[in-house]
């Protein structure tokens, strides 16, 4: 029986055989601990009826563990140098398909329709490159893919920001944007020593379970997210200052602060103390005021 790809010895052997050199610009850090990889896949609760979408398979260490549990795996790899390696390492798994493509430019709905069975249980399982974690995550969420759950490894700090609750230092516009689409929870931390090459920071496994519908009602999604971002523009300033400055071309500072107070949000509060429900209520009153002009 072939040994798991994710061991320091086998990973090194594969890289040396193919003369592979890591590209810092692609944020390549390969996991060399099979137990961690198995736990990532277990977090997605996939079965032989499930399909898995992976982003950045690398040499196939996580892909291999997904392939052992799922019925089909579709992986997107931007680095063409890895394709011959993946062809070799994934040879025992005919139900794995590799797309040589930047996932940020891919038509994921079309790819899903073409590869998976209609209505198939789908999960995203990935070790996301640090430098594009947020763009990839938001693409997966905003495109409202028919995916039940996403279990992804990312920089610890980013995972904490996504899963953060109001009142915590990590809570911000990313927390609200992500939790609008999915329930987020950090499953476990991954030490930097588990990677080759070793990154500068620890990682975490984040599980995001897709919501059937958003937890709040908003007048316009684009406006809601813009409003939230404006509230967090300068974290040390109050929500009253940030919002009134953002809309100074449309209303006076007293008018903006009066709208905040009308929804029970004191202008002296900081955005990190404001819940998603409160932001939704505020976006309604500001939207109504601005569109009625």
- Residue 246's alpha-carbon distances to 241, 273, 293, in angstroms, are 9, 19, 17
Pair 216, 277: CB distance under 8 Å: yes
d(CA 205, CA 42): 12
The reply to whether 31 sits in an annotated binding site is: yes
The reply to whether 29 sits in an annotated binding site is: yes
d(CA 137, CA 165): 18
Pair 98, 75: CB distance under 8 Å: yes
Kind of pairing between the strands at 195-196 and 30-31: antiparallel
The reply to whether 71 sits in an annotated binding site is: no
The reply to whether 241 sits in an annotated binding site is: no
Q: Per the annotation, where are the binding residues for S-adenosyl-L-methionine?
A: 29, 31, 56, 77, 102, 127
Q: Per the annotation, where are the binding residues?
A: 29, 31, 56, 77, 102, 127
């Amino acid at each position: 029986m072939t040994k798991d790809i994710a061991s320091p010895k086998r990973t090194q052997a594969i890289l040396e055989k193919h003369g592979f050199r890591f590209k810092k610009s692609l944020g390549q850090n390969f996991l060399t601990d099979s137990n961690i990889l198995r736990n990532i896949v277990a977090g997605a609760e996939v079965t032989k009826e499930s399909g898995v979408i992976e982003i950045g398979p690398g040499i196939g260490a996580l892909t291999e563990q997904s392939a052992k549990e799922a019925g089909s795996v579709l992986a997107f790899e931007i680095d063409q140098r890895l394709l011959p390696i993946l062809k070799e390492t994934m040879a025992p798994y005919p139900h794995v398909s590799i797309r040589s493509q930047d996932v940020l430019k891919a038509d994921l709905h079309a790819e899903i329709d073409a590869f998976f069975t209609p209505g198939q249980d789908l999960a995203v399982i990935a070790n996301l490159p640090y430098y594009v974690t947020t763009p990839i995550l938001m693409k997966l969420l905003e495109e409202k893919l028919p995916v039940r759950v996403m279990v992804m490894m990312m920089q610890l700090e980013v995972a904490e920001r996504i899963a953060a609750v109001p009142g915590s230092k990590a809570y911000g516009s990313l927390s609200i944007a992500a939790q609008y689409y999915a329930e987020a929870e950090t499953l476990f931390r991954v030490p930097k020593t588990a990677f080759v090459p070793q990154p500068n920071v620890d990682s975490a496994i984040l599980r995001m379970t897709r919501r059937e519908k958003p937890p709040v009602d908003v007048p316009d999604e684009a406006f809601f997210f813009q409003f939230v971002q404006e509230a967090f523009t300068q974290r040390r300033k109050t929500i009253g200052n940030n919002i009134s400055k953002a809309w100074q071309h449309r209303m006076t500072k007293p008018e903006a602060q009066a709208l905040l107070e009308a929804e029970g949000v004191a202008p002296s509060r900081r955005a990190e103390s404001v819940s998603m429900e409160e932001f939704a209520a505020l976006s309604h009153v500001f939207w109504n005021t601005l569109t009625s002009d």
